[in-house]
Structure 1
């Protein structure tokens, strides 16, 4: 029997997200409805659902329309990516699972960017792989050191897993860092799996930056795999559509074979919505809405951090929808679980405790999901400020 560790962040969200008044823990850009999606399209008359289509399993590897739109997005600034090199999944969580399930097992060694979403390192571990965590630290702006990566390489290293933009820190591995990772992987013939679910929500770095990070698929390394989804950057978590893409058809075929055991196909209805959202008549407006929301809300969050600089510190995130904030009392980190529990009870505001959900070493850290509706963020953070002023002394300190 596989030994399954508790999926800490998802267990926390499962327990509390329907019981809060201000959900500032969710990591999706504020979700939109079908009606709102249609209003964003330049072609208002185009139907989302083809209601005359029989609801069979559909295209096993993903609809032609959806994979074609994804192919166009990944091909925009690089060599064309064939649609055949993309397969769809029910969300990125299964995309990530399948990359491990198909490619890793007993005797393999995996290096995983850390902190990050727990399943990225926990699933390879469950499958019998040996795991080393490649630690990023706040004193280095949450960017892991390449020399540390080199020191972790072993003869049996099969895969390097990165998360860019990063959850929970919002840090971004820029182009020069990605190239150094590729150089290491090339030397040792290692697969790189990059979870890009928060791409392209870049709110504090722009394409004119000379080190702006492209998708890993745009950097010419054949043994690169990326995963993505409609949930985070595209504000459509409810349709449960994700994908896996690679320029190596052999990797895609291995994953597709494993996928037969877990998926068969993705819901036709979900894929129709995803294809509509990623169509060139809609995708630019959708992303513009979400990036604009992220920029507006980042300004709100920055003001909160300045107002509460005696109790809060951070490395300002560059991208994505999350920030990792350290809460302390006279320099001593609070017990983040006790803080989040008391905050929720007193104010209705939900944060995610870092020491519970991302690693015991992250004492005092909380994850904030700030790309919710702006009024929710403003009102919720006002309540957090009052809590910090009046009730922080009642919160336990980290042991």
Structure 2
């Protein structure tokens, strides 16, 4: 029997996200959209400066779709759109990713599982960044592989240190797994680090899996332009003017190594988790054929309805305003979260500490208390999250429980901040009062 570890973060969300009246800042998706919301974002196409073509109604097209299995790999239009996402920001000399090298799946979680199921087995060794989404290291374990965790360190801004791979690699290392940008820290891996990683892997013939489910949302954090001009002075001009937003990382598929597999989905940066649609891609045609062969034993294809709505969302009329909406939401909301953290960085008996995220939708914040002897002690993050939920209906994710096996990242909580701004403001206000009344 396959030994499967409990998926801590998913079980936490299942247990508590339906709490009546919950203010959910544990969610990792950009604020979700309805089909009507999505259609309202669509912009008309203008031809020759005069002819205006209104976007098609997404439901009209789906209403006449015969609900057969549909294309096994995903529709050709959708695969072309996804390939274009991977090519965004590529160098001119890099060939475009062929659409035939994209496979549409039931979310990124199915894409990741399909890759592990295809590539990994007993006797293999996998290196995986840590902390990250638990699936990325526990599924390889369940398939019989040994896994070494490549710990992201706060003193290195949670950027992976490629030099540490020398101490982790083994003769049977088959796969290096990264999550870019990272969940829960919200830190992207810079291009030069990706290039160093590829050089290391190429010398040894090791595959790399890059879970890029958050990649389109590289918003720049506090150093990026503020979408609310009236709030430009909220954090002080002098303090923000010296910051410089890091360039968004490219997809690792653009960096010229065939033994790379990348995954993504409509859930996080595109705010459409309800579609349950993702993808896996590689420049290696042999890997694609192996993934397709394994897929025949699992899910066959995705729903034609999901495929159709994803095509609409990634169309030229909808995709740019959709990503603009979510990027502006991230830039606006990170400022509210930063103001909260700044207040509690050096206040009373409570301490907040973090590396401000510049991409994705999540922040990893450590809460500590200061004793009479001036000793700083991380809070019990599980007790803290449960008590905050009971007292305020604010839901967060405990870091040690859900990302550290109860042993690491003590006192950390993950906060998803790219939800509706009003929800985030109310949740932070209630959390602020809780700290004042209970810990300060």
With normalisation by structure 2, the TM-score equals 0.87
Aligned to 2:229: none
Distance apart, 1:202 and its partner CA? 1.4
- Does residue 341 (structure 1) correspond to residue 386 (structure 2)? The answer is yes
| Matching residue within 264, 267, 278 for 2:314 | 278
Q: Which residue of 1 aligns with 2:158?
A: 142
Q: Which residue of 2 aligns with 1:227?
A: 263
Which consecutive unaligned segments of at least 5 residues does structure 2 have? 45-53, 225-243, 371-375
Q: Deviations over 1:136-190 (max 9, x none)?
A: 1111111121111122111111000000000001111100110110010011011
- Equivalent residue for 2:213? 197
Q: How far does residue 209 in structure 1 lie from its aligned partner after superposition? A: 6.5
Write out per-residue CA displacement over residues 2-56 of structure 1, whole angstroms, 9 at most, x where no aligned residue.
1111100000000000105210000000000100101111144413142222100
Instruction: State the match for 1:375 in structure 2.
Output: 422
Give 2:107's aligned residue. Answer: 91
Would the aligned equivalents of 1:229 and 1:243 in 2 still touch at CA under 8 Å?
Answer: yes
Could you say what secondary structure the match of 1:328 adopts?
A: strand
Aligned to 2:50: none
Describe the superposition over 1:109-131 as per-residue Cα deviations: whole angstroms up to 9, x where unpaired. 10001100000000000000110
- Aligned partner (choices 342, 357, 363) of residue 323 of structure 1: 363
Secondary structure, counterpart of 2:58 in structure 1: coil
Equivalent residue, structure 1, for 2:373: none
Distance 2:163 2:72 in 1: 42
Q: Tell me by how many angstroms 1:211 deviates.
A: 5.4
* CA deviation map 1:91-115 (0-9, x unaligned): 1111111110000001111000110
Aligned to 1:2: 2
Worse-superposed segment, 186-195 or 142-151? 142-151
Which of 279, 283, 291 is the aligned partner of 1:247? Answer: 283
Map Cα deviations across residues 313-372 of structure 1 (whole Å, 9 max, x no partner).
101111100000000101210000000000000000000000100012110000000000
User: Distance in 2 between the 1:171 and 1:110 partners?
Assistant: 22
Tell me whether 1:298 sits opposite 2:361 in the alignment: no
Cα distance in 1 for partners of 2:89, 2:161 equals 28
SS at match of 1:256: helix
Q: Distance in 2 between matches of 1:9 and 1:77?
A: 32
8 Å contact from structure 1 (residues 142, 169) kept in 2: yes
Distance 1:351 1:76 in 2: 33
CA distance in 2, matches of 1:381, 1:252: 45
Pair member with larger Rg? 2
Structure-to-structure mapping, 1:1-399, within 5 angstroms: 1-19=1-19, 20-43=21-44, 44-49=54-59, 50=61, 51-78=63-90, 79-204=95-220, 212-310=248-346, 311-330=351-370, 331-359=376-404, 360-392=407-439
Partner Cα separation in structure 2 for residue 173 and residue 265 of structure 1: 32
Counterpart of 1:396 in structure 2 is none
Distance 1:185 1:355 in 2: 30
The CA deviation at 1:241 is 0.2
Q: Determine helix, strand or coil for the equivalent of 1:222.
A: coil
Seen in structure 2, the aligned counterparts of structure 1 residues 294 and 373 have a Cα distance that, compared at 3 Å, is same
Shift of 1:210: 7.5
Superposed CA deviations along residues 220-272 of structure 1, whole A, max 9, x for unmatched, are 11111110000000000001000001111111111111111111110000010
Count of matched residue pairs:
393
Query: Any conservation in 2 of the 1:230–1:274 contact (CA below 8 Å)?
Result: yes
Is the 8 Å Cα contact of residues 127 and 147 (structure 2) preserved in structure 1?
yes
Distance 1:135 1:303 in 2: 28
Residue 76 (structure 1) shift: 3.9
8 Å Cα contact 2:31-2:271 kept in structure 1: yes
SS of equivalent residue, structure 1 residue 368:
strand
CA distance in 2, matches of 1:248, 1:90: 22
Q: Distance in 1 between matches of 2:273 and 2:427?
A: 22
**Contact 1:176/1:211 (8 A) holds in 2:** no
